[in-house]
A and B are shown apart, each in its own frame.
Chain A
Amino acid sequence: MVVNYQPRLACQTRVETLDSDVITVQPLHNLPVAKDLVVSLEPFFEKWKEINPALDPINKGSKKLAVIPPDSDFGKEAAAKRDCITCGACYSACSLPGSNKGYLGPAAINKALLRLLDPRDKDVKHRLEVLYDTAGIWRCHTQFNCTAACPKGIPLTDSIMRLKRAMIRPGQFNDNKHSTTSGS
């Protein structure tokens, strides 16, 4: 919900923290209103699905665990990025999904980056194609609203920026892949 003009998790917003005797509530922006304050997250999840959010393992039939140690490079990178709860606050905070209905939105882009960086995941080409689209990462104009709105504190603008920089050498996402099994 948008409470006092900021997209937030209504369930976690306590009135006393709002420091006001006037509280404005609105349905989330950029999403179709189903009724009253309820929005449909359908467009948000369409973009989510477009980038193939599930892990596409290199070693699908493996019986061993594919462990990512928390102190490994990817482990540390993933720590901030994987907390997304798909609440839609970022999608609501940015102005671009409002004007460009095809824009992927910060959550989807962040998830795509997480998967691209994952050494166990083999789907690089398809995700890059989706991100490279005109309605992909290029529609971000560093408003920073997404980073400010995220209740999990994920540095979303940073994720999108990393992808913009990386697009000149997209092969780099193939470099870190290896059929990880436990231990490596």
Chain B
Amino acid sequence: MTTSTAQLLVRKYRWRYAGMIGYYLQRVTGLALLGYLLLHVHTINLLKDPAKFDEALATFRSPLFKLAEIGLLATVILHALNGIRLTMVDCGVGLTKQRQIFWCFAIGVGAILFLAGAIPMLMHINFQGAK
């Protein structure tokens, strides 16, 4: 049988088992959330200047920021669910099923939760202009 390029690539990266994908995911989402925290604390500090605060909130209503918020939702869900999986595994629970837990729980349930939040959020975006 001939091995296609696609098959070779799959074989090369399949070694990146769920454990490995989960590892990268946790780090990337974690760093992203730290960055978000920086921005968020900065915004809350604007409470000291009412005009600037309202200005910031107005910016956050723009479609670009609303889409970024949806991205934030995905980031939080992935980090949290994979974090639950890691804590379970750390307690010795589900060690033999850690791959299934990753795909079915962290990714599967995560996707459902994400859609439950993202679809209403998308529907509320006013693409014509900020409110």
A residues apposed to B, CB below 8 Å: 4-6, 19-22, 95, 141-145, 148, 155, 157-158, 161-162, 164-165
* A144 close to B19 (CB less than 8 A): yes
Closest to B98 in A: A144
Q: What CA separation (Å) do A157 and B97 show in the bound complex?
A: 13
- 1/0 per residue, CB under 8 A from A, across B79-118: the answer is 0000000100111100100110000000000000000000
- Contact among A19, A20, A142 for B89, CB-based, below 8 A: A142
- Contact among B1, B11, B15, B19 for A142, CB-based, below 8 A: B19
Closest to A149 in B: B15
List the 8 closest A-B pairs by CB distance, nearest first. A144-B19, A22-B3, A20-B3, A143-B19, A5-B15, A143-B23, A5-B12, A143-B20
* B95 close to A162 (CB less than 8 A): no
Q: What are 19 A-B residue pairs whose CB atoms fall within 8 Å in the complex?
A: A5-B11, A5-B12, A5-B15, A19-B1, A20-B1, A20-B7, A21-B3, A22-B3, A95-B20, A95-B23, A142-B22, A142-B23, A143-B19, A143-B20, A145-B20, A155-B95, A161-B92, A162-B92, A165-B90
Interface residue? B6 (CB, 8 A) = no
Known contacts: A162-B92, A164-B90. The answer to whether A145 contacts B3 by CB under 8 A is: no
- Contact among B8, B15, B91 for A22, CB-based, below 8 A: B8
Instruction: Give the chain B neighbours of A161 by CB distance below 8 A.
Output: 89-90, 92, 95
User: Smallest CB–CB gap between A23 and chain B, Å?
Assistant: 9
* Secondary structure call for the B interface: helix
Interface residue? B128 (CB, 8 A) = no
Closest to B20 in A: A143
Instruction: Give the chain A neighbours of B8 by CB distance below 8 A.
Output: 20, 22
Interface size on B, residues (CB 8 A): 22
B residues apposed to A, CB below 8 Å: 1-3, 7-8, 11-12, 15, 17-20, 22-23, 86, 89-92, 95, 98-99
- Contact among A21, A141, A164 for B23, CB-based, below 8 A: A141
Instruction: Give the chain A neighbours of B92 by CB distance below 8 A.
Output: 158, 161-162, 165
Instruction: Give the chain A neighbours of B98 by CB distance below 8 A.
Output: 142, 144
User: Smallest CB–CB gap between B54 and chain A, Å?
Assistant: 43
Closest to A23 in B: B3
* B86 close to A142 (CB less than 8 A): yes
* A158 close to B90 (CB less than 8 A): no
Known contacts: A21-B1, A21-B3, A157-B95. The answer to whether A145 contacts B17 by CB under 8 A is: yes
Q: What CA separation (Å) do A158 and B90 show in the bound complex?
A: 9
